[in-house]
């Protein structure tokens, strides 16, 4: 019969088997024609290979994706393909992941149907409760249903070996787990995610011990070996604490001191560095204090130099080598974020100011200073204000500046010479009330030409806090490092790593008192470095200053930028702008502290050698790769943790240098397994690929396959052609309206050949239930390459 060609293992039959195997059997049934007899069991390796396509496609996809995820693939800031269409690409990948899930479930279903058919053909049989497991295994509820457990219990009472029964149960459980995991697993290994990729960095050294770089006591001896004596040095030498004055004066002269939010980031640019300064604005006693913190300048300078070389190493790999292991340098260059990070310490300052009634410097004896404790917010104090004897520090400081002069009779008075008394004075006062805080400031504004001043006392809390200094860039936004001058043109930012550092804005935040914080003892003679008196010609006159041309200290000139109307006249001291005082004082001190160590590390280029050589571009301000010795490139730009690329410079003494580590992390779309769930998904897809491979090899080895009864209509059709059990068999009673009996669900089913079920000269097939499978006639067992109607 011509219709038999549909089932022959020739050229025409192979596409049909392939289409049906991958779930596209509809294309083999579009033409209406009489239903032909069929070969129940085909013995052909070509047909077996065609029917194995249901495994080959999802397994191949899984193996490729597993390899990519285990080895890692960095994509960059955007997915492959047309730009600006990531949302569409993601949607298509989600559709592809869903298709992969369906293919995996279909593949496992094919294995289950194969085992069920083998048991139906053999003397083993299969319980009724497990007969539909090829369709039900993808539903998790099936595994605690009566059908499943009735079938399992019945399975172990069959004459087949317990090992075969256990294998079927484990296959069903494994298939159920894979069906549950297939969806998330396919999405995890197929859809790229924004991830971090460590790409090396380098170890580097700073000149000086930790106490040199982050001193805990600051007095005149700290900079005794460095010249900060002239106005040029004081205003322009980055090693001098007062060199922040001109950029700060420009900022405060043009920026308001009132803010809408509590945490502010200010980008400050000075001749050496561009850095972010972070600060909180006081919100009242016991709520939020005025805190400032910023980057440590020597750390940031060398860090930016190494960042420059690290980026040049990437460009070298891109243009000279063309590859970077499993990642493409071009994709790495297009990272969403490039972060260059160093663990260091950063200066932190807190200032609390309180106004007082009018005073006269000639007669002042004691003043009340706000109490600031190491591990308390201001306002959480257990005792009152500190009463401090200010007579000696006031007269010593103002006497040195010739603002106060002593008469022959021992009395003190203001200097009557013109242009000698500034309108605002900031006087350092040592505090002995707490061993960790020994510095205060008396800030006073003169009332006209009188001897009366509006005062405010300020307590300063200075510390070193554990932090991470970092540069972070987008696609292509970084600038070259200036090796000649050590100038940092990129914005250096800071992450505090102190206890509760991220909750500094919380009303419940308490300053930590642990190893992450180191208090700094400040002495008044170091204050002379921070706020030296500068000749009037070097300080811009502020419009609100009533005495232009007067010699002032740098801090006094900064405080003069606070609008004059914020210093309320009269007897009410509550009108003094203490918030403005705290902001300006904290800013000046935190910036001055950030320069500790600059005198010992004047040049970032002192660390370089070997692979790097000074270039001829831009008058020697850039450094390029020595292409004759590119070995260090692979050590500077590498996967994982950084290693020591540069040996300690010969000019450094090992016992007087500090080892630092810069870690580089690129962030972007990436395909990689990075946590336990990712690896669980990889294992799930590996198990499926292995199961699919084993089943494919088995099919090709035995070369016997069948595609019967893998759909519900086909199973119903077989049941319709089968006679019901006879009264003597006594099984499947009263099941027309449903099955509630464990016994009925445990009845064993098998398929046998029977002449009465056939059509014409061909034998037919029927399904039987009961105990007869144990001793049925071997003539009833279906055979390979036999036609059945």
Contacts 24+ apart (CB under 8 A), 408-414: 411/362, 412/361, 412/362, 413/362, 413/451, 414/361, 414/362, 414/451
What does the pLDDT read at residue 10? 45
Residue numbers of the chain with a pLDDT score lower than 50: 1-12, 545-547, 569-574, 609-611, 615-620, 760-761
Q: Which residues of 435-445 are buried (b: 16+ CB within 10 A; e: fewer)?
A: eebbbbbbbbb
* 3-class DSSP state of 291: strand
Q: Does pTM surpass 0.85?
A: no
Nearest residue to 462 via CA among 356, 277, 590: 590
What does the pLDDT read at residue 59? 93
* 3-class DSSP state of 191: coil
Torsion of CA 277, 278, 281, 285, to 10 degrees: -120
Distances (CA, A) of 76 to 54, 194, 664, 668, 787: 34, 9, 15, 5, 59
* 3-class DSSP state of 567: coil
Q: Cα–Cα distance between 152 and 176 in angstroms, integer?
A: 15
Strands 217-218 vs 521-522: parallel, antiparallel or unpaired: parallel
Count of CB atoms within 10 A of residue 39's CB? 21
Contacts with 378 (C-beta within 8 Å, 6 or more apart), sequence order: 285, 286, 289, 350, 352, 370, 371, 372
Q: Do residues 344 and 299 touch, judged by C-beta distance below 8 A?
A: yes
Strands 762-769 vs 748-759: parallel, antiparallel or unpaired: antiparallel
What does the pLDDT read at residue 571? 47
What does the pLDDT read at residue 222? 93
pLDDT tens digits, one per residue of 514-544: 778 889 999 999 999 999 998 777 766 655 5
Q: Cα–Cα distance between 137 and 787 in angstroms, integer?
A: 31
pLDDT tens digits, one per residue of 318-329: 887 777 777 888
Q: Cα–Cα distance between 254 and 524 in angstroms, integer?
A: 30
What does the pLDDT read at residue 372? 83
What are 661's strand-pairing partners?
A: 203
Q: Do residues 152 and 143 touch, judged by C-beta distance below 8 A?
A: no
């Amino acid at each position: 019969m011509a219709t038999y060609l549909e089932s022959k293992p020739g050229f025409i039959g192979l596409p049909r088997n392939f289409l049906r195997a991958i779930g596209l059997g509809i294309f083999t049934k579009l033409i209406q024609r009489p239903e032909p007899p069929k070969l129940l069991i085909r013995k052909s390796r070509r047909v077996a290979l065609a029917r194995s396509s249901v495994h080959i496609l999802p397994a191949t996809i899984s193996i490729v994706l597993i390899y990519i995820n285990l080895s890692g693939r960095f994509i960059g800031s955007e997915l492959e393909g047309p730009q600006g269409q990531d949302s569409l690409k993601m949607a298509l990948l989600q559709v592809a992941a869903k298709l992969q899930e369906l293919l995996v479930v279909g593949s496992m279903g094919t294995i289950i149907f194969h085992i069920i058919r083998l048991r139906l053909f053999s003397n083993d049989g299969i319980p009724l409760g497990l007969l539909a497991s090829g369709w039900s295994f993808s539903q998790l509820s099936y595994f605690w249903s009566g059908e499943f457990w009735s079938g399992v219990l019945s399975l172990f009472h069959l004459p087949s070996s317990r090992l075969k029964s256990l294998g079927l149960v484990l296959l069903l459980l494994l298939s159920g787990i894979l069906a549950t995991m297939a969806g998330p697993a396919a999405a995890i290994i197929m859809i790229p995610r924004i991830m971090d990729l460590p790409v090396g960095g380098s170890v580097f050294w700073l000149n000086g011990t930790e106490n040199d770089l982050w001193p805990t006591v600051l007095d005149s001896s700290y900079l005794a070996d460095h010249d900060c004596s002239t106005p040029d040095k004081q205003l322009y030498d980055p090693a001098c604490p007062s060199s922040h004055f001109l950029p700060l004066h420009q900022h405060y002269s043009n920026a308001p001191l009132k803010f809408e939010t509590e945490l502010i980031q200010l980008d400050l640019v000075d001749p050496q560095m561009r850095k972010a300064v972070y600060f909180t604005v006081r919100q009242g006693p016991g709520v939020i204090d005025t805190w400032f913190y910023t980057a440590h300048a020597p750390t940031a300078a060398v860090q930016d130099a190494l960042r420059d070389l690290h980026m040049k190493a990437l460009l070298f790999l891109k243009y000279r080598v063309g590859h970077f292991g499993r990642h493409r340098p071009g994709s790495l260059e297009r990272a969403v974020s490039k972060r260059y990070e160093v663990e260091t310490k950063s200066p932190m300052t807190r200032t609390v100011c309180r106004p007082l009634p009018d005073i006269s410097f000639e007669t002042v004896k004691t003043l009340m200073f706000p109490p600031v404790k190491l591990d308390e917010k201001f306002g959480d104090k257990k005792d009152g204000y500190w009463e401090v004897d200010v007579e000696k520090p006031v007269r010593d400081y103002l006497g040195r500046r010739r603002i106060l002069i002593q008469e022959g009779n021992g009395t003190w008075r203001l200097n009557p010479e013109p242009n000698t008394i500034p309108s605002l004075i900031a006087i350092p006062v040592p505090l002995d009330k707490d061993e960790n805080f020994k510095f205060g400031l008396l800030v006073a504004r003169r009332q006209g030409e009188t001897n009366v001043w509006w005062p405010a006392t300020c307590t300063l809390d200075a510390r070193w806090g554990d932090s991470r200094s970092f540069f972070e860039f987008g696609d292509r936004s970084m600038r070259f490092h200036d090796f000649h001058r050590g100038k940092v043109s990129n914005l250096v930012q800071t992450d505090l790593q102190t206890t509760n550092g991220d909750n500094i804005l919380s009303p419940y935040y308490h300053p930590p008192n642990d190893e992450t914080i180191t208090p700094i003892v400040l002495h008044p003679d170091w204050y002379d470095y921070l706020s030296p008196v500068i000749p009037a010609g070097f300080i811009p006159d502020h419009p609100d200053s009533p005495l232009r041309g007067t010699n002032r200290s740098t801090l006094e000139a900064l405080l003069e930028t606070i609008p004059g109307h914020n210093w309320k006249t009269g007897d009410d001291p509550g009108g003094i702008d203490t918030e403005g005082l705290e902001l300006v004082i904290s800013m000046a001190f935190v910036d001055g502290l950030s320069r500790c160590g600059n005198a010992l590390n004047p040049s970032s280029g002192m660390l370089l050698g070997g692979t790097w050589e000074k270039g001829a571009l831009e008058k020697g301000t850039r450094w390029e790769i020595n292409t004759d010795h590119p070995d260090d490139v692979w050590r500077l730009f590498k996967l994982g943790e950084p290693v020591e690329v540069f040996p300690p410079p010969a000019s450094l003494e090992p016992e007087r240098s500090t080892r630092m580590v810069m870690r580089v992390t690129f962030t972007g779309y990436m395909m990689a397994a990075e946590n336990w769930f990712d690896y669980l998904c990889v294992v799930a897809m590996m198990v499926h690929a292995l199961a699919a491979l084993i089943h494919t090899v088995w099919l090709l080895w035995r070369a016997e396959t069948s595609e019967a009864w893998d759909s519900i209509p086909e199973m119903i059709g077989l049941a319709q052609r089968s006679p019901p059990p006879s009264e003597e068999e006594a099984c499947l009673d009263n099941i027309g309206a449903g099955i509630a009996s464990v016994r009925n669900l445990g009845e064993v089913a098998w398929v046998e050949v029977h002449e009465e079920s056939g059509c014409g000269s061909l034998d037919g097939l029927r399904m039987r239930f009961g105990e007869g499978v144990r001793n049925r006639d071997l003539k009833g067992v279906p055979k390979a390459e036999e036609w059945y109607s």
